Amino acid sequence: MNEITNIGDWFAWFFGVENLKSVFIYNNTEPLMFTGFFFWAFFGVVLLAYSIVHKKRGLRNAFLFFASLFFYYKTSGLFVSILLFSTLSDYIIGKQIFKTRKDRGKQIWVALSVIINLFVLCYFKYAYFFTDSFNAFFHTNHEVFNHFAQWTNEFSNSHFEVDKILLPVGISFYTFQTISYSVDIYRKEIKPVNNILDFGFYVSFFPQLVAGPIVRAADFIPQLYKPYNLTKYNFGLALFWILKGLTKKVIIGDYIAVNFIDRIFDNPTMFTGFENLMALYGYSLQVYADFSGYTDIAIGVALLMGFSLPTNFNSPYKAKNVGEFWKRWHISLSSWLKDYLYIPLGGNRGGSIGTWIALAFIVAFIVMLSGKMIVLYGFIWLALLCSVLAIFVKRFRAWLITNINVLITMLIGGLWHGASWQFVIWGGLNGLGLVVYKLWRKISPYEKFNNFLVIVLKVFITFNFITFTRIWFRAETMETTWQIIEQIGNSFSPEVIGEVLYSYSNVFTMMLIGFVIHWLPTKVKDWYRETFIKLPLAVKIIISAITVFSVYQAMSSELQAFIYFQF
C-alpha cells in the first residue's frame, strides 16, 4: 500500500471501494464472531441505529431482523437464503395451524413443519452420510451433488461448487427453534405472529442465532411487543456477562486448546497416558468455557438491546449425578428434547407409537452407519430377546417401559450433533449413565446423605464419567479414540508427571484457575457479579478496558471458532 501522507488520503483509503466491499461481502475466511473486532464494530453501529428506532416497536423489530440477516450473511454467506426459507415456511404453517379447526388438519400442518425442517437439516447435515451408506449397501459409486448450489448458480450467475455440501452455521439451532414454534401453536401455548418481520426477528435474532441458546417462542415473542427498557442494573449485568464470556472463551478455552489439548488429540500416540488424561480433563474445561462463554456473550449483547435470553448453563460440573448434569448443561437443548421428544414419546410412562418409530429410525441410522447387514440382524435378535424377557420377566418389562424413551432421547441427542459412530456412542453412553443412575439411587446407601464428603464423591464420579464420554465427542475418528484409551491404560508413564507439569505449567495453571472458579460456591459468584454491577461507571470502564486488553493479548494469531459452530 502506498504511503498515506495526509488525512484526506487516509479517508480516501478507508472509504475506498475495496474496503467497502470487504465490509459488506461475505468472506469465508473471516466469519463474523464475538471474538473478532469486526463484530464489535458491527454491534456498535447496530446499537447506534437502535438508539434512534427503539421507541417505534415495528421499526425496531424490522431493523433488528435485517441486522440479523446481515450478521448471518457475514457468518455463513448465501446460506442466509435457507434461514429465510425456514422463516417463511414456518410463518405460513403457523398461520394455517391456528386457522384450521379440526385436530386432524392441525396435525397435518404440524407434521408438514417438522418434515420440512428436518428435511432441510438432514440434507445439509447428513447428505454425505446417506450417500456413503447407500454406496456401501448397494456397491454403487454415487457422489454428493449440491442442488442448492446449482440453483443458486443458475439464479444469480454465481460459481459455487456443486460437488460439495457445506453445513450452514447454526442450522441445528434455528431448525429446532422453528419446530417448537409450530408445535407450541398446535398445543395452544402461543398464537401465531401476525407480522412476518416480527417472526423473522424471533428466528434470526443474531446474538443467539448460530450457537443458541434455543429460544422458545412462548418466552421470546412476548418481548417483541414490550417497550425498550435498559436499567442501570441490567446494563451492569450485560457488561458482566460479555466480559465473563470473552474471558472464558479466549483466556481459558482457546489458550489451553491451542497450547495443549489440540496437540494431544491430533496425535495421541506421541504423548504419554498422563498427558492424554490431562487433555481429556482439559477438554471438559475447554468445551464448557467455549460454549458457555458464547452463551454469556449472547445473553449480555441481547440484554443491552432489552431482550432476555434463557440460562443455558448452571455450573454443570457441580452435578452430583448424570441426570442433574443434563439439567445444568446446554439447558435449552436438554429441555427441548424433554418437552418435544421425551414426553411426547411417553416419558417414563412407557412406549408409544412414536417410541417405535423413533427406535426404527435410530436402528436404521446405525445400520446405515455400519454399512453391514449383520448389524441389522443383530438388532433383530436383540429385539426378539428383549420381547421374550419382557413377556416372562416382570421386572425387566417394568425397567424397559421406564427407560426406553430415555435411551432413545439421548441417542437422538447424540445424532443431532452429527452422523458418526462417535456421537452414537457418546449419546448411548450418556443414556446408559442416566439408566444406571436410576437403578443405583434405589439401592445406594449414600443417596440420602448430603454431607460435604459424600457430595464431593458424587461430583467426582459424575465429572469423571462425563469426561470419559467426551473421548468420543472430541476425537475425530474411532482410531484416535482407541489410541487415547490405550495410551492412558498402557503408557501412563508416572515417572514423567513432574516433567510434564513443569513443561506445561502455564496450561495447567490456567486449567486449575478455570476449575476453581467453576467450583466456587454460588454465593461467591453471586457476590462478585453483584459487586461489579454496583461499581461506579468509571470503574466499570477501567475493568472492561483491562479485560479486553488481556483478552486480545491472549488471543492466538488466528481466531478460534466456537466449538458448537460445527453443529
Exposed/middle/buried for residue 24 (C-beta within 10 Å: 0-12, 13-18, 19+): exposed
Calculate the alpha carbon distances from 486 to 173, 273, 482, 483 in Å: 35, 8, 6, 5
Calculate the alpha carbon distances from 275 to 286, 361, 473, 502, 503 in Å: 16, 39, 18, 12, 11
C-alpha to C-alpha distance for 113 and 197, rounded to whole angstroms: 19
Q: Which of 319, 316, 317 is nearest to 333 (CA)?
A: 316
Q: What is the pLDDT of residue 523?
A: 93
Residue reference for cell 478455552: 253
The H helix count followed by the E strand count for the chain is 27, 0
Grid coordinates representing 466 are: 462425563
Q: Which of 532, 537, 476 is nearest to 240 (CA)?
A: 532
CB 39 within 8 A of CB 72: no
Helix 373-392 vs helix 353-370: crossing angle, to nearest 10: 150
Calculate the alpha carbon distances from 30 to 18, 26, 35, 355 in Å: 15, 8, 11, 43
Helix or strand run (H / E) with residue 438:
helix 421-443
Compute the radius of gyration of the chain from its Cα atoms: 25
Exposed/middle/buried for residue 203 (C-beta within 10 Å: 0-12, 13-18, 19+): buried
The ranges assigned to domains in the chain are 33-126+166-228, 230-313+493-567, 318-443
**Catalytic status, residue 147:** no
Catalytic residue, from 142, 159, 330, 417: name it: 417
* Number of Cβ within a 10 Å radius of residue 450: 10
What does the angle CA 300 – CA 303 – CA 307 come to, to the nearest 5 degrees?
135
* 8-state DSSP, 222: G
CB 455 within 8 A of CB 317: no
Q: What is the pLDDT of residue 5?
A: 46
Report helix, strand and coil shares of the chain as percent, to nearest 5. Answer: 75, 0, 25
Q: Which of 223, 203, 220, 210 is nearest to 89 (CA)?
A: 203
* 8-state DSSP, 270: G
C-alpha to C-alpha distance for 181 and 202, rounded to whole angstroms: 10
C-alpha to C-alpha distance for 82 and 103, rounded to whole angstroms: 30
* Number of Cβ within a 10 Å radius of residue 539: 11
The DSSP code sequence of 313-336 is -S-GGG-SSHHHHHHHSSHHHHHH
Task: Give SS3 for 213.
Answer: coil
Task: Give SS3 for 174.
Answer: helix
3-state secondary structure string across 472-503: HHHCCCHHHHHHHHHHHHHCCCHHHHHHHHHH
Q: What is the pLDDT of residue 354?
A: 79
Q: Which of 552, 416, 561 is nearest to 76 (CA)?
A: 561
99-119 residues labelled b (16+ CB within 10 A) or e (exposed):
ebeeeeebeebbebbbebbee
Q: What is the pLDDT of residue 1?
A: 42
**20 — phi, psi (to 5°)?**
-65, -40
Q: What is the pLDDT of residue 164?
A: 63
CB 342 within 8 A of CB 409: yes
C-alpha to C-alpha distance for 67 and 75, rounded to whole angstroms: 12
Grid coordinates representing 252 are: 481459558
Going residue by residue through the chain, which has 567 residues, state the pLDDT in tens, using 9 for 90 and above: 444 444 455 445 445 545 556 676 766 666 777 777 888 888 899 999 998 888 888 899 999 999 999 988 888 877 888 889 999 999 999 999 999 888 888 889 999 998 898 888 888 877 777 777 777 777 777 676 666 666 666 665 555 666 666 677 788 888 989 999 999 999 888 889 888 999 999 999 888 887 778 888 888 988 988 888 888 999 999 999 999 999 999 889 989 998 999 999 999 999 999 999 999 999 999 999 999 999 999 999 999 999 999 989 999 999 999 999 999 999 998 898 888 888 888 877 777 787 888 888 888 877 777 777 788 788 889 888 888 888 888 888 777 777 888 888 888 888 888 777 888 889 989 999 998 888 888 887 777 777 888 889 999 999 999 999 999 998 888 889 999 999 998 888 888 889 989 999 999 999 999 999 999 999 999 999 999 999 999 999 999 899 888 888 877 656 667 766 666
**562 — phi, psi (to 5°)?**
-65, 140
Q: What is the pLDDT of residue 519?
A: 94
CB 179 within 8 A of CB 114: yes
C-alpha to C-alpha distance for 474 and 268, rounded to whole angstroms: 12
Grid coordinates representing 51 are: 438508539
C-alpha to C-alpha distance for 245 and 251, rounded to whole angstroms: 10
CB hemisphere CA count around 196 (13 angstroms):
11
